[in-house]
Chain A
Amino acid sequence: MYFPVGWPKRVGLALPGEGACIRHICCDAVKILVAAVGDDFLGIWYANPLIPIAYFRRSQDSLRQYGSNQLIVWKPDSRQLAVLSAGGALLLYQLDFDANGSGILLQVDPPAASLKRDSAELFIKENIPRLSLRELCSVTLGSVITTVCCISLSELLLATQSCELLRLQWAQLEQAENELEVPALAAIKLRDIPFYVQQQQAQQGSARNVPPLSRDSYVASLEYSPFIGGCAAVFSDRRAAFLIANHLKFETDHMHGFWVPDVEDASVCSVNHKFRLLAYGQESSGVNVYAIDDATGGLEFSHRLMLTENVLPGSLGAVNELKWSPDGCVLAVSWTNGGLSLWSTFGALLMSTLSWDFGLNVDLLRQNPLKLRRLEWSTEGYQLFMLTQEQLQGSRDKEQSNVLQLQFVKSALSMNPCMTTNPHILLQGDDCLYLNQGNNLERTYAGSQSTFPSSGSSDQATATDSDSDCLELKQSPHTGSILTESKYWTVLQLPLNYAATNWPIRYAAIDADGLHLAVAGRTGLAHYSLVNRRWKLFGNESQEKDFVVSGGLLWWQGFVVMGCYSLLDRTDELRCYPAECKLDNQFGHKLQVRAPVISLNSFRHQLIVLTADGIVSLFNMTKKSAYALDIECAYELDVKSICIHPACIVSLTVTNLKNELKPQGQQLAEQAETIIVNVCGRILMIQRDAGEQVPNTLLATCLASCVEVFWLSHSLERCAMRDCLWLYSGAHGMRVWLPILPPGRERREGEQGGAQRLHSFMSKRIMLGFPLKLYPLVVLFDNVIVLGVENESTLYANEEGSHFSLPFATMERKSQIYLHKVLRQLIKRNLGYSAWEIAQSCRSLPYFPHALELLLHEVLEEEATSKQPIPDAQLPSILDFIREFPVYLETIVQCARKTEIALWPYLFSMAGKPKELFQLCLQSEQLDTAASYLIILQNLEPSVVSKQYATMLLDIALQQRKWELAKDLIRFLKAIDPNEIDSPRSSMVVNVKIAPPPQVNTQQQVNQNADAFNMVLGPIARERSFSTTVTSNLPKDKQALPGAGVPPVAESSSSGPPTVVRRRSTKQRETFCIDLILQRHARQLLQNHKLMDLGYMCAYLDFHLVTWLSQEAEKAAKLDDFAGALLALHAELQLPSPFPPPSKDDFAQLRGSHRQAGGGGSSSQTSESGYFSLATPNGAATQSPQLQPSIKEEEAEEPQQPSSLPVLKTRSESQLSFDNFRYRRLYSLPASEDDLAVDPLPAKLSIKLRYLLQLFSEANCTDYALVLSILLQDAASISRIVNGIIRSESVHTCRRTETALKQLSHSTFEHSGSLYRGFVLTLQPHIYLLEQYIQSLGDAANTPLQDVGTASEQGVDAVTGIHELEDEEEDFVPKSQQANGNQWMVTTADLRPNHQRLTRHASLESNGNATMVSGSSAQSTPTQRQMPRQSSGEREGCRLM
């Protein structure tokens, strides 16, 4: 879990002021000093800060004699170094601490104040020792020394070209003065020791030297590990071996070796101590890793590291360097042709530079910028020194250093495995911490919208009005969750005071809530509160310097608990410090332990500690107060028997997880009983026997091997996956060990039933494995998600030659859902019930449907593409499982759409026919899902079928007002190529090969049939045969084949002609059909008076309403019952009923009148929308192309009087000139002032209505135009319509309109509280006008029409009848008076002019209501003026009547 950060630094390690190629870098045992050799010099550096201490340059003589420097070996006490030269000699250097010097390279500030340093961090606190370096001696042996390794504190192992191994004391080297023969007391002649191919053969007694060492081969590379008890070696003939001695004294007699099987081209080797692994790099660019078989002591193949991604096979070249990180968690691998990669212990790829983005101009194949020769991990693995290969020539390259230093950040788990219990990703750098908290889910409230743009659901941010601000929620708030982007990394820098002397961070820990952090460096500790963002350091610095944290650091209930070594007392201790107090020993709690703490962990109140003497101690922690706690040892357990060395125990924990779950009642929740230990990657579970007090190591059971990290989900989790053990095993993927509970019902019975029944319901555990794409750092059990970090890279500059042209490494948090993987494994094992239970508990997760989809997809891909027949296909059971969830239909189609078409037949043969699924969607009203199925149908079925279904869906979509969907469907329907309509899907041909695996016998037969058929006839014949059965899909077709027994050849021939015919017909039908549907629906809408829907429909579907309406003007767009239509419209628009029951009295009426005035106001306000029908002042004039001859004179007069005032002087002239513009101006004035308090017709709605009105009038649908005008209370529009009708010279229409208006006014006045009472009054002149006109046309009109007219005339007063006979002038005036006065009463003629003037006056002043009425009446006057002339012209006609 190491992740590189940033660019590598380039450092110059040559002598100051020079540039030279560095051959080898080696850190000393404690990683404080770094030694680097060039060809002729050795330099000693301080590791951090990287500052040179001393150099030694060899003389020319020495160089000539022994050759240039090659390899460094440190003595473990850091006092001596041995450098291996190219000539095979060993040069010994002594490093002495110079006590009298005060340090080196102390920076001295100049006297000028402005040039002095003033920041604290610039004063280096680190005390860099002054060291002196001298050459002791040079040692040569009889033969050339090929490699050296250090095997103990005092001993070296040398390999010579004569194939011998020599064990030497460092002291011996010293004594062996210049070029003296070293006494070869411990020379092991490798040619004499037995080599085995496998341990088994040795046991069989066939101790043959198979295959023997070749004559001149020697050990080229060697590494020793005390935990393994032997050496990994690579011979010069590229064979790899493992050398081991029976006991630690390496002697020829007691040694034997193993040839590493299958590795014939080894190049390098490396040993992992902690996990006891041997890694051999190969020429073929792979790395084989072997573990030690405990039973036989031989090698056991563990895994192979092979880079496959972004790499051409064979392009990498040989592995030229392998290095395990100091903690054994990571293996760095580099290749001769360039590239570096990091692998976790058991083979998960963490990072590879070959997948980095180097930019376009870098060809990784030919010239990899990162060609590395040597690698060396620095302190704690935070840096990796990389030596690049020397560039061939070039003046500049000489000066360029070949040392790169790459910075790393590692997971806190690598050092502190007890951190697996918390849900935060914590990474540690050398002086900073990276923290990523929070899961990917953002909680949302169902009724709200998050307004931030990037959260994805912002589109309706403005849709809901802000009125819904404070509402009471009836039940507990329904909060869902949505996926969000990952959170930013929080980077915490270590405080300077601490970091300056305690660099680097060794342990880091965070508490479960993510509020407290603790870090421990070289000495002491510091902790940080994320709440107040403050570090807490030891107040007393000497206390900080007095102890070293070892073994682990953890938080427990506000205390930081650690294992440590006290430098003062020289004892090993457990210490606890409370977070709330000052960090001081007086508040701390100390408990001495016998040996150094290696690892610790806690579970609830229990602390488990492993010490170096191989004892596991269990402590009970009790919190006494906020600042004090008590630790008591419960029991101790010797674990020496289960591990080679306690240091091999990677991690351990205590838990109450059990192999077999006992019923809840018997479980002791407080006392954890099981210890789980990870020994070299093997997970051992040590259980406590029922009767015993202490667990017994003999009862340890091995659960798994190759485990790097493990997590435990405790019973506290919400998810069904409780009490699980999660194991991550690198290349072997993730494994979960989960309990299988009997179905809930049985379980309950089991609990009720006595103990005798218990055992039969005892649940078992099961281990499930699945691969993971990322390296898991955190398992979120509740969210069934794994969080990890991935290495990404960005290219900052493409400056040629600069190392900044390398990619900049960054870290990104990634997550992966594992739910589907677990479900699949469970279903595979016939544990569907458990799977169902788990799935059920995860249903609220936003990605649950996605998980199901993945589940289906994975199985489908696997089974449909498998070459061999699958004995028991999993797909049916998976489908059965998904069917349990309501998202079944959706899941199937989503999955299908993401897979190849070739796999569809297999899927649908199991999941059901797409047509049936489509039908199901329709039944369950999942229209969008159904639409998705159309695409499947389109691909699997003849176009006719998909068309038919699309049409069906279109119908339903229209009915359900899913306009967007309908729009898409129409596009879909129109996109079907008519030529294609009968051609079969090409996919059908492909997928016959991968037909569904047989389930029933008959189907099997079909399969064979189809296959044979395909082979014989080829795809073309097959194609045609499908077109015959138009409606059948694949399975049907197949069944039809054997059933009918018709030879396919005949079928294909017979099917030819009909298709042609159909093609032609459908082509025509194509667009016609859609139009038909749309028209039918539009008609329905119109008939039901659903005008709004009609509006939406034509807006979304590009339906030409005007054209259609003009066709329908005499059919569907006719209205018989105007009042009914108005009523229906009101209902649809959710307005108050126009004709409220009479029980509503004056108040209602008052409100109604207010309402009406408001309506007028809004209409004038919204007129800016452009849909206002009166927008053009002379609209009436332009709209009258066919004027009556009688009006023509008037028309000529009209333009002459535009300047006449609205106040009437001569009533005939001024009324005429009262044009729309003036009307509007006058009219809107009071409305805008007074009627703000009244609720108008909603603005948006009114715009829509006006738009519709425009459409209807354009299409000459006068009936609807009238209704809409009334709804809008737009008198001008009505007058225009009436004019239009009159101009149309159709008695029939006139009569109809007249009837309608009369009917309307009748029903209005029947209901006293009607909204339109006032407005309808203004209509009366129009009715009269129409009547007059009808009368004038009377002779032309036939009797039945008149009958209709008279029949519906009942509502109109007798008054009109009377006035008909009187003089027209006289007759007209009272009517307008009546309208003004707002009452139905006859007034005398002589009063009229004054009265009218008065009314107008009043209305202008205050009364909006009156204004509106008078205005509209005034507005209607021009037509009224016209009418008398007409009627006078046609007086005879009137008289006749």
Chain B
Amino acid sequence: MIEIKAKLLRADSAIYATGERVECLIEFTHKVFPDEQGSTKNRNANEASQENLAWASAQLHCYRKTSYSNSSTDRTAELTEMIGRTALDAVTQAPGEVIVATKPKILFCDLRLQPRETKIYFFNEFVPRDGPPTYRGHDIRYFYKITIATQRVKSKVQTLTVPIRVLPIPVIARPDELPVTVETNEELAPTNPFLDKREISELEISWHHLKNVTARRAPKFYRISNKRGFVGRFCLFKQAYKLGEDIVGSLDFSQCQVRCVQFSVKLQQQELPLRPQPVQSQSHQLHSQSSVGDDVSSINSFDMASIASGVVADNLHKSATSGSARDKEASAPTGKLMTISTTHQVCYATLQTQVVVPIPLHVTPTFRTDLVDVRWRLHFEFVTTTLMDFGSPNPESGELKAPSELPVETMVWNLPVTIYAANPLQIYAPNQTFSLLIK
């Protein structure tokens, strides 16, 4: 009996950014169980002693599972693609459509193992730079697996899969940004073939870029008011965040004309299906989306509730576009919404407070493929009342009791934010060993 064990080297987080290298140790052990050992003693020693595997290969696959109806041309194209593929692909076909597959790497051919002998193989592979991130949504799922396939002579192929999580690191669309990260002006020096130039990997540059994008910017202020008057002022310090960061905003209710009784802020994931389009480079879209983000915000900022009551949340920065927002409202699709985290505060007595929405580490950052567009937004609900006092004038002396009822109105507001990947090493997600027994 042969046991195959696969263990990712990065034990503390089975998470990789696109363009990173997955490293995996694969262990083949000839296992001898005590009862079996007894029986083998009786038999011919030679016969039982050796175990044999014809070959083993390892490969990284990205799968897609979707409920979107793919156009029939796609199907046929896939089917034709299937023709001429190796048997291993057919085996791995099971969980979904393979959309990215790396070249299979042969670990060995004709492996012979003595009892209790163990051989360890080291597999590494770059996570494809242009693949989608791991994502589990309503209608579509993307996931990555390392498939280790092996076969005994005259038996069928057996596979062991090791799931990994992939985070998207946006590819930089503008290569002229590259020299920004180079510290020295080595470019100017003549090239001597004997001098090794330190090459900056593309991933590294992207990471620098990502850090720049998610750095704190000048705060943006938003005046919140409804038809009855000024409610408060919201301030957000940046629009782009990394996983694991807190979205920090401040709310100032002082000098309000309408009392905000309570509010809640939800971090929501929007899954917008896209019509199957001709495949575009995903990277470009990822990049362009961040720049488009601001425009989208002005379109989506106000939704039904505030409009019905004739409330226009007065966005200090976008005041010009807020008026026209109403007309465009209908056209903006919301897609499937998923609320990831919620903060709720009763702010009856609060004059100044803060909104801290943690971005969980397990969510998928903003990304877009040819089938789906995943975005993030903050969804605000403010419960307001015009009752600034207890409904009766404050007494000169004596008791003042709180009224039993408080008429409230609710207004909602959406503010898009962009979420980027974090450094996978800083995320704690221990992975276990995956094993397979071949009898």
Any B CB within 8 A of the CB of A361: no
In contact, B403 and A116 (Cβ under 8 angstroms): no
Known: A9-B354, A104-B402. A109 touches B408 (CB 8 A): yes
Contact partners of B3 in chain A: CB under 8 A: none
Known: A122-B381, A442-B425, A470-B121. A105 touches B402 (CB 8 A): yes
Any B CB within 8 A of the CB of A207: no
Any A CB within 8 A of the CB of B280: no
Q: In chain B, residues 4-32, which have Cβ atoms closer than 8 Å to a Cβ of chain A? A: 9-13, 17, 19-21, 23, 25
In contact, A117 and B399 (Cβ under 8 angstroms): no
Q: In chain B, residues 261-308, which have Cβ atoms closer than 8 Å to a Cβ of chain A? A: 261-262, 264, 266, 304-305, 308
A108 to B121, CA, bound (A): 67
In contact, A51 and B346 (Cβ under 8 angstroms): yes
A471 to B356, CA, bound (A): 48
Any B CB within 8 A of the CB of A102: yes
Contact partners of A107 in chain B: CB under 8 A: 261, 383, 385, 405-408
Within 8 Å by CB of A484, from B108, B406, B426, lies B426
In contact, B121 and A119 (Cβ under 8 angstroms): no
Within 8 Å by CB of B124, from A12, A104, A448, A479, lies A448
Q: Per-residue CB proximity of A431-465 to B under 8 Å, as 1/0? A: 01000111000111101111111110011011100
A15 to B343, CA, bound (A): 27
Any A CB within 8 A of the CB of B44: no
In contact, A491 and B124 (Cβ under 8 angstroms): no
Any B CB within 8 A of the CB of A16: yes
Within 8 Å by CB of A15, from B13, B125, B394, lies B394
Any B CB within 8 A of the CB of A1182: no
Q: Nearest-CB distance from B211 to chain A (Å)?
A: 9
Any B CB within 8 A of the CB of A1206: no
A105 to B423, CA, bound (A): 47
B103 closest partner in A (C-beta): A469
In contact, B120 and A477 (Cβ under 8 angstroms): yes
Contact partners of A476 in chain B: CB under 8 A: 120
In contact, A797 and B203 (Cβ under 8 angstroms): no
A103 to B405, CA, bound (A): 9
Q: Per-residue CB proximity of B342-357 to A under 8 Å, as 1/0? A: 1110101111111010
The residue in B194, B235, B424 that gathers the most chain A C-beta atoms within 10 A of its C-beta is B194
A472 to B56, CA, bound (A): 12
Within 8 Å by CB of A442, from B12, B123, B360, lies B12
Q: Nearest-CB distance from A421 to chain B (Å)?
A: 18
A13 to B422, CA, bound (A): 41
In contact, B399 and A132 (Cβ under 8 angstroms): yes
Any A CB within 8 A of the CB of B85: no
A37 to B410, CA, bound (A): 32
Any B CB within 8 A of the CB of A498: no
Any B CB within 8 A of the CB of A366: no
Known: A52-B349, A105-B405, A491-B360. A438 touches B12 (CB 8 A): yes
Contact partners of A469 in chain B: CB under 8 A: 105, 123-125
Contact partners of B252 in chain A: CB under 8 A: 802, 804
Known: A134-B399, A808-B248. A16 touches B389 (CB 8 A): yes
A922 to B20, CA, bound (A): 39
Within 8 Å by CB of B194, from A9, A445, A1095, lies A1095
In contact, A796 and B237 (Cβ under 8 angstroms): yes
Within 8 Å by CB of A452, from B244, B353, B360, B423, lies B423
Contact partners of A463 in chain B: CB under 8 A: 196
Contact partners of A436 in chain B: CB under 8 A: 428
A448 to B353, CA, bound (A): 49
A551 to B66, CA, bound (A): 50
In contact, B344 and A104 (Cβ under 8 angstroms): no
Q: In chain B, residues 305-326, which have Cβ atoms closer than 8 Å to a Cβ of chain A? A: 305, 308-309
A7 to B243, CA, bound (A): 22
Contact partners of A18 in chain B: CB under 8 A: 394
In contact, B426 and A133 (Cβ under 8 angstroms): no
The residue in B108, B203, B402, B411 that gathers the most chain A C-beta atoms within 10 A of its C-beta is B402
In contact, A112 and B428 (Cβ under 8 angstroms): no
Any B CB within 8 A of the CB of A912: no
Any A CB within 8 A of the CB of B201: yes
The interface stretch among A173-181, A1214-1222, A1243-1251 is A1243-1251
In contact, A454 and B404 (Cβ under 8 angstroms): no
In contact, A452 and B342 (Cβ under 8 angstroms): no
In contact, A57 and B396 (Cβ under 8 angstroms): yes
In contact, A473 and B349 (Cβ under 8 angstroms): no
Total A-B contacts with CB atoms under 8 angstroms apart: 320
Q: Nearest-CB distance from A1 to chain B (Å)?
A: 20
Q: In chain A, residues 1-34, which have Cβ atoms closer than 8 Å to a Cβ of chain B? A: 5-7, 9-13, 15-18
Any B CB within 8 A of the CB of A59: yes
Q: What class of interface size applies to chain B in its complex with A? A: 35 or more
In contact, B194 and A12 (Cβ under 8 angstroms): no
Any A CB within 8 A of the CB of B122: yes
The residue in B244, B348, B360 that gathers the most chain A C-beta atoms within 10 A of its C-beta is B348
Q: Nearest-CB distance from B218 to chain A (Å)?
A: 10
Q: In chain A, residues 1223-1254, which have Cβ atoms closer than 8 Å to a Cβ of chain B? A: 1244, 1247-1248, 1251
A359 to B69, CA, bound (A): 56
In contact, A490 and B192 (Cβ under 8 angstroms): no
In contact, A59 and B410 (Cβ under 8 angstroms): no
Within 8 Å by CB of B201, from A10, A445, A462, lies A462
Q: In chain A, residues 1154-1190, which have Cβ atoms closer than 8 Å to a Cβ of chain B? A: 1169, 1171
Any B CB within 8 A of the CB of A977: no
A738 to B282, CA, bound (A): 59
Contact partners of A491 in chain B: CB under 8 A: 246, 341, 358, 360
Q: In chain A, residues 695-727, which have Cβ atoms closer than 8 Å to a Cβ of chain B? A: none
Any A CB within 8 A of the CB of B388: yes
Any B CB within 8 A of the CB of A54: yes
In contact, A15 and B12 (Cβ under 8 angstroms): no
Within 8 Å by CB of B123, from A110, A453, A470, A1248, lies A470
Q: In chain B, residues 328-370, which have Cβ atoms closer than 8 Å to a Cβ of chain A? A: 341-344, 346, 348-354, 356, 358, 360-362
Contact partners of B341 in chain A: CB under 8 A: 491, 493
Any A CB within 8 A of the CB of B401: yes
A287 to B362, CA, bound (A): 46
Any B CB within 8 A of the CB of A114: yes
Any B CB within 8 A of the CB of A619: no
Contact partners of B113 in chain A: CB under 8 A: none
In contact, A488 and B361 (Cβ under 8 angstroms): yes
Within 8 Å by CB of B309, from A5, A11, A112, A451, lies A112
Any B CB within 8 A of the CB of A1319: no
Known: A16-B394, A487-B426. A6 touches B348 (CB 8 A): no
Q: Can you report 27 A-B residue pairs in the complex whose CB atoms are below 8 A from each other?
A: A11-B349, A15-B400, A16-B389, A18-B394, A53-B402, A54-B399, A119-B342, A121-B342, A122-B344, A132-B401, A436-B428, A437-B428, A443-B10, A445-B25, A448-B21, A449-B21, A451-B126, A451-B203, A452-B423, A453-B203, A454-B425, A459-B198, A490-B360, A493-B343, A496-B342, A1247-B193, A1248-B193
Chain B residues in contact with chain A, CB under 8 A? 9-13, 17, 19-21, 23, 25, 58, 105-108, 119-126, 192-196, 198-199, 201, 203-204, 207-208, 216, 219, 235, 237, 243-244, 246, 248, 250, 252, 254-255, 261-262, 264, 266, 304-305, 308-309, 341-344, 346, 348-354, 356, 358, 360-362, 381, 383, 385, 388-390, 394-411, 422-428, 430
Contacts beyond the supplied A107-B408, A485-B423, A796-B219: 15 A-B pairs with Cβ under 8 Å: A6-B354, A11-B349, A16-B388, A17-B388, A45-B349, A58-B397, A105-B404, A109-B409, A451-B20, A451-B201, A452-B203, A461-B203, A487-B427, A804-B354, A1247-B193
The 10 A-B pairs at the shortest CB distance, nearest first, are namely: A49-B346, A1099-B194, A488-B244, A59-B397, A491-B358, A453-B204, A114-B308, A17-B389, A121-B344, A55-B400
Chain A residues in contact with chain B, CB under 8 A? 5-7, 9-13, 15-18, 45, 49-60, 62, 101-110, 112, 114-119, 121-122, 124, 130, 132-134, 399-401, 432, 436-438, 442-445, 447-455, 458-459, 461-463, 466, 469-473, 476-477, 479, 484-491, 493, 496, 514, 533, 796-797, 802-804, 808, 1095-1096, 1098-1100, 1169, 1171, 1244, 1247-1248, 1251
